[in-house]
Amino acid sequence: METVIIGVFPHAEAKTLEKKLEEQGLSPVLNHDGQTCRTGCGVTIELRLPQNEIETAIPFLKSYHAKDYDGLSIDFDALNATFDPNQENTQCPACSTYFNPSQFSECPDCGLRFA
């Protein structure tokens, strides 16, 4: 069974998510990977799901994580934007301002510098 990493969470949160996903009829797997997880005081663990269950899990995961950004004004399109210095007009990944990167080496609004 091929699994996909959903995220790396503190141990207690991973256990909570595991239980809630099982309640949704899904098959979560907790995995400790030395490359992505920590031990000691702040133990973290990977939460994985079988590849064929990802689409089913998405609505639940969106609602579960909504509490993390509830009340914040987040521009998800800006978060997914890619800065392209070759475009005539591109979006700053920090503040969403559009500008011409051939005229500015930094965002004219927030000052984020581009190499």
| Residue 96 pLDDT level (bands cut at 50, 70, 90) | confident
Count other Cβ atoms within 10 Å, centred on residue 29: 16
58 and 86 share one domain: no
Domains identified in the chain, total number: 2
Please report where in the chains the tokens 């256990």 appear, as a residue. Answer: 15
7 and 21 share one domain: yes
pLDDT of residue 102: 87
pTM to 2 decimals?
Answer: 0.59
pLDDT of residue 54: 93
Strand partners, 30: 47
Q: Please compute the mean of the pLDDT values over residues 11-22 and round it to a whole number.
A: 93
Percentage with pLDDT > 70 across the chain: 98
96 and 48 share one domain: no
Higher pLDDT, 24 or 70: 24
12 and 61 share one domain: yes
List strand residue ranges (DSSP E) for 1-115, in order. Answer: 3-10, 29-31, 44-50, 90-91, 98-99
28 and 44 share one domain: yes
Residue 8: domain span? 3-69
Classify 10 as helix, strand or coil.
Answer: strand
Render pLDDT for 27-80 as a digit per residue (tens, 0 to 9). 999 988 777 767 777 788 999 999 999 999 999 988 888 888 888 887 777 777
Q: Are 70 and 63 a contacting pair, CB within 8 Å?
A: no
pLDDT of residue 93: 81
- Cα gap 58→77, rounded to integer Å: 18
54 and 91 share one domain: no
| Residue 3 pLDDT level (bands cut at 50, 70, 90) | very high
60 and 82 share one domain: no
